[in-house]
A and B are shown apart, each in its own frame.
Chain A
């Protein structure tokens, strides 16, 4: 139920980090739909050493959805793609001091948004591959 959010969740909900868009993002992840009540869009900027230099998000959703989006962007900034792939939904929830059971799906969405952004980045890189070599 509402009101069972940890202090950390409330803190990220009140002051979400990294809200916004990255116009020239290296990858974008989109998950959720309005019927189930949550939509997340996660942007990552990756440098040529495969390090995530910036991450931003836009989220339609409850307090937990906003807090998990905020936390996942914080967790991946400065990490390499390989490291970021290891960031699980549990890690996001844990970093927030836990989530109410019925809100755990928000952390799953955050993980999926991250995977989506990384997949998008990989796909773009592959597509550009021949160009950069040539």
Chain B
């Protein structure tokens, strides 16, 4: 059976080049990068090289602004808890949005239990953060604004430059969770007025369990892990050398291919959407029509529930998801769609197609071929579809 993987916002298939680059560091080059002998020095050189590549991808000329972590979740935790704890004497207020990934939302919830105050700024129906509300939320006690660069469920791209300006004017630190934006959108951290930016390896065709946090020089931050002097004293723990090397390789290639790759993905994605609209009635596009990640398509199929669609597509070899991977399987509708004001009945039937570099036009045709009959069959089974069979 044909396999079509359209869940690249959940994770990507690691590219061969990254794996090839990593293998020696699981075999002959096994030194601890902190050791002075040659075994250690070789590992150190590899880490330094990877740090440069990640710095280039993120758009900073300073390698001292890139800190490796175990992934996007740790980078988010590090940024938010780190700033909150470092600036405790200055203030206790954090501003975020209602549509953040749980790595940010639950970190904020945790800080609320510690006594911090958090404002969850609303979003519009296209998932764009309400900038007026954001401005109004800032108080003298505000120490951090954390707003995602692009949303993982619907793909909407937030006005990061504008938020950066607002934050800078008010002298408030700005963190952005750029896990979904890195390698999909061209940006330079140095031009954004961001102080902290999170990224993850497995979303950019690199390995799982590795990521990075960009920390602008001079930013006050308390470390999450205490121990040795790794990562310039900010993140203790023997480095995951192979993971870092794989991340470096993925970053290097992503930077090279970004423009071309995104043109291709956007074209395929729009082809898929046009096909869906022409074959299936009563569908809606979730997310901003233009300001959206080039690979992401979130479609609501009216009268249906998402899991039944996901399972049916799975039986045809097609991998998609409802909302984010960690919330599907829970009984709550997507917090992102709910925040966007999507009718509760319609949040249930929303499916995310997230394309990746392996996808082809044939894949889209295959999906379009099986999707119509699945939706038709499920709708015929749906009591909500009653009386709407005219067409």
User: Which residues on A are within 8 Å of B, measured CB to CB?
Assistant: 1-2, 10, 13-14, 16, 19, 30, 34-41, 58-63, 65-66, 102, 105
Contact = CB atoms under 8 A, between A and B. Distances in A.
B329 to A, nearest CB: 4
Provide the main secondary structure of the chain A interface.
mixed
Given A2-B311, A62-B305, A36 B384 contact: no
Contacts, number: 63
B331 interface: yes
B311 A13 contact: yes
Interface pairs A-B: 8 shortest CB-CB: A34-B345, A62-B307, A1-B329, A58-B383, A35-B344, A41-B383, A60-B382, A63-B311
Contacts of B330: 102
Interface in B281-314: 303-308, 310-311
B308 A102 contact: no
Nearest to B381: A19
Contacts of A34: 344-345, 348, 384
Contacts of A10: 311
A82 B331 CA distance: 33
A32 B306 CA distance: 16
Interface residues of B, number: 23
Contacts of B304: 60
A60 B329 contact: no
A20 to B, nearest CB: 8
A41 B386 CA distance: 11
Contact of B305 (A13, A37, A58): A37
Given A59-B382, A60-B304, A37 B329 contact: no
B17 interface: no
Given A34-B384, A40-B383, A60-B383, 10 more contacts: A35-B333, A37-B331, A39-B382, A58-B382, A59-B382, A60-B384, A61-B308, A62-B305, A62-B306, A102-B330
Contacts of A40: 383
Contacts of A62: 305-308
Given A1-B329, A35-B345, A63 B307 contact: yes
A13 B315 CA distance: 11
Interface in B302-341: 303-308, 310-311, 315, 328-331, 333
